[in-house]
Amino acid sequence: MLAKPSGQALEEAGAQEESVVEEKKRELGSEHPGTLSAMQRLGRWKKAEQVGLQVVETMKRVLGQEHPDTLSSMADLASTYKDQGRWKEAEELQVKVMETRKRVLGQEHLDTLSSMANLASTYSKQGRWKEAEELQVKDMEAMRVLGQEHPDHLRSMNNLASTYSNQGRWKEAEELEVEVMETRKRVLGQEHPDTFRSMDNLASTYSNQGRWKEAEELEVEVMETRKRVLGQEHPDTLTSMANLASTYSNQGRWKEAEELEVEVMETTKRVLGQEHPYTLTSMANLASTYSKQGRWKEAEELEVEVMETRKREAEELEVEVMETRKRVLGQEHPNTLTSMANLASTYSKQGRWKEAEELEVEVVETRKRVLGQEHPDTLAGMANLASTYWNQARWKEAEELGVKVMETRKRVLGQDHPSTLTSMNNLAHTYMSQGRIDEAIAMMAQVAALRSRIIGEDHPDTKSSMKALVQWRAV
C-alpha cells in the first residue's frame, strides 16, 4: 500500500514545481514549449485548464496550428476537460487533434492512432459504445503494422474487448481477450502484471456467461502465481482470492468459498485494520456465505459488526467526500455524482427514503443533462430511484421509471444483456406488488427463459427468477 503524502510534502512538491516554472521562464522565456510544459504539469484541474488554454493559444501563435507540439498541447487540454467530466469539450478538441494529425501525419501515424484511442475513450465514458467501437477497430487494424506482439497492438485489442463487454457481446470480447492473454504469456511471461490483468479480464468474461469452471481455472492460476510472486498479504493476491471465492460461491461450493473468505478477512484485519473498507467487505462476503449455508447466527454476528462499523463511519465519510468533490471537481463531475449516489444508498439502507430520493433525483437529472438519457450511469441512477419509489409503495412511479430503463437498455444494450434482464426482473416485481399477477408472471417467465439460455440454469440469477415464477404461479 502506498503511503498518502502529507500536507507538508504536497506543499513542498508544489513549491518545487513553481520554482521549476520560474527557472524555465528565466532561461527559456515565457512562450518556450519547455516553459509551457512545466506550467502544464503545475496545473491542477481548474488551474490546469487556465494554463492549458494559455499553452494552446501561445503554441498556435508561435509554432502554428498544425505543429506537433501544438497538437500535443490541445490533447493535454482535452485530457484536463476529461478529468473534470466535461466530455463534450474534451471530444471537440480530440476530434480536431485527430483530424489534423490524419491530414498532416497520415492515418497510420502513431500520434494519429493515439488520438483515435483517446477519442474512443471519451465516447466510452459517455456510453457511446458504437462510436468508440468504430474508432477502436480502426486503431487495432492499424496497430497490426507494429507486429502482433507489440504492446500498443495488444492495448488496442484490450480496449476493443472492453467495449464489446460493455455491450454484452461476450463472445467477441472473449475472442480478443484470449489472444491478448496468450500473447502476453508468451512475450512478457506468466508472472508479468499485464498478463495477470489479461487473465482477470478473461475470467470476468467467462463469469458473465456463467462459465464458472473456466473462470475458476484462470482465477486459481492467477491467485497461486500472485501468492508466489507478490506474497500472501499483497492487495492483488487478496483480490484474486476474493474473486475465486465468488466463483466458488456461484457454483454453490460454500465450504471452499468460506475457506478463502476467512483467510482474506483475517489477513485484511491484520494488515489493514478492523475498520478498513476492504476488511468490512471481506466480512460481508463471509456473512453472505454463512447465510447461504443456513448458518444464521454466524452470519448475523458478522453482519451486525459490519453494519455498526459502516453506520458509524459511512454516512459521515460519504457526506465529506461528496461535499469535497462538489467543491473541487464541480457539481456535475462523474465522481461527485457517484458520491451522491453512494450517500443515497446509505440512506436507503437506513430506511431514510426521502433523503435517498432527494439525492437520487438530483443525480438522475444531472446525468441526463451531462451524459445523456441513454448512458449506463444515467440508467443505473434511474433504476436506483425506481427502487426507492418501490420501497415507499409508490408503484406507479416505480413502474414508470422501470419501463423507461428496461426499454432503453433493450434498445442500447440488447435483449440479452444482464442489465436488461435485471430491469425486466425488477419490473416484474413491481407488477406483482400491484397485484398484476398475469403481467408479473409473463415478464418473469421471459426473464427466466432468457437467463436459462444465456447464463445457464445453475446461475443464481436464473434460480432466483425460476423460484419467483413458481411462487407466483401458486398464488
pLDDT by 10s per residue, the chain, length 475:
333 223 333 233 333 444 444 554 555 555 555 555 554 544 456 777 888 899 999 999 999 999 999 999 999 999 988 877 788 899 999 999 999 999 999 998 999 999 999 999 999 888 788 899 999 999 999 999 899 999 999 999 999 999 998 887 889 999 999 999 999 999 999 999 999 999 999 999 998 887 889 999 999 999 999 999 999 999 999 999 999 999 998 888 889 999 999 999 999 999 988 878 788 889 888 888 887 777 878 887 887 787 777 666 667 767 877 887 787 677 887 778 888 898 888 888 889 999 999 999 999 999 998 888 888 889 999 999 999 999 999 999 999 999 999 999 999 888 888 889 999 999 999 999 999 999 999 999 999 999 998 878 877 788 899 999 999 999 8
pLDDT at 379: 94
Own/partner contacts of 279-285, CB < 8 Å, gap of 24 or more, are 280/306, 280/309, 280/310, 282/238, 282/242, 285/242, 285/245, 285/246, 285/261
Question: Which set of grid coordinates corresponds to residue 324?
Answer: 469535497
pLDDT at 372: 85
CB 96 within 8 A of CB 74: yes
| In the block, residue with C-alpha cell 487495432 | 140
Rg for the chain, CA atoms, rounded: 25
| In the block, residue with C-alpha cell 496497430 | 143
**One fold for 21-146 and 329-403:** yes
CA angle 236/241/247 to nearest 5° reads 125
Which architecture characterizes domain 21-146 according to CATH? Alpha Horseshoe (1.25)
329-403 — its CATH code? Answer: 1.25.40.10
Burial of 167 (0-12, 13-18, 19+ CB in 10 A): middle
The set of residues, in sequence order, having a beta carbon less than 8 Å from that of 26 and lying 6+ positions away, is: none
Query: What integer best gives the mean pLDDT of the chain?
Result: 86
Q: How many residues does the chain have?
A: 475
Residue extents of the structural domains in the chain: 21-146, 329-403, 413-475
